[in-house]
Amino acid sequence: MDDLKINGIYKHYKGDLYIVEDIIYNSETLEKMVAYRALYGDNKLWCRPYNMFFDEVNKNGQKYRFELQNIKSVKEE
């Protein structure tokens, strides 16, 4: 799994939803990271190493830590 969608809505295996803001890089190590914002509470902005974002967890019916959601508009037929 290596196809991150910027502005995509992802579900964490614990159930909450997040929107991916961008790919960012650690200024010291140049490690590639994912910046993502909680779609609940105070909408905190988080970051996680890119590869860890797609870790396999096999919990609560999800294979990966975060899974892209196919959310359709109410206007779509």
Going from the C-alpha of 28 to that of each of 31, 48, 59, 73, the distances in angstroms are: 8, 15, 33, 41
- pLDDT in the model for residue 56: 95
What kind and span of H or E run contains 46?
strand 45-49
Give the integer Cα–Cα distance in Å for 32 and 23. Answer: 7
Which architecture, in CATH terms, is 9-68?
Answer: Roll (2.30)
The larger pLDDT score, comparing residue 72 to residue 52, is at: 52
Please state the domain extents for the chain: 9-68
**pLDDT tens, residue by residue, 56-77:** 999 999 999 999 999 888 886 6
Which of 27, 19, 70, 68 lies closest to 43, judged by CA? Answer: 19
Percentage with pLDDT > 90 across the chain: 84
